[in-house]
Amino acid sequence: MGAKEREDADVIKKDRVAAVWSESATWLTGVEWRCVKVMQRNFEQLAPATFEECATLGMVQMSMFA
């Protein structure tokens, strides 16, 4: 695994902040908000054309590592 593919402490903190933001936005708006992470390598290889494709890619990644 290359250096770019490793997750350091900053990335882990940013992921947690995104999750907390989503939880807060859901609570405040009454509408479900979720964050979905897409790995850079997958984004570049598959080049999603729309937000929906990007979100689907992130969800696929999540299911692979669950």
Q: What is the pLDDT of residues 26-62, one digit of tens each?
A: 999 999 998 888 888 888 998 989 988 888 888 888 7
**Would you say residue 3 lies in a domain?**
no
Give the total number of structural domains in the chain. Answer: 1
State how far the Cα of 64 lies from the Cα of 55, in Å rounded to an integer.
14
Q: Is the pLDDT of residue 5 over 70?
A: no
**Would you say residue 1 lies in a domain?**
no
State how far the Cα of 32 lies from the Cα of 41, in Å rounded to an integer.
28
**Would you say residue 2 lies in a domain?**
no
Q: How confident is the model at residue 1 (pLDDT cuts 50, 70, 90)?
A: very low
Domain that holds residue 30: 10-64
**Would you say residue 36 lies in a domain?**
yes
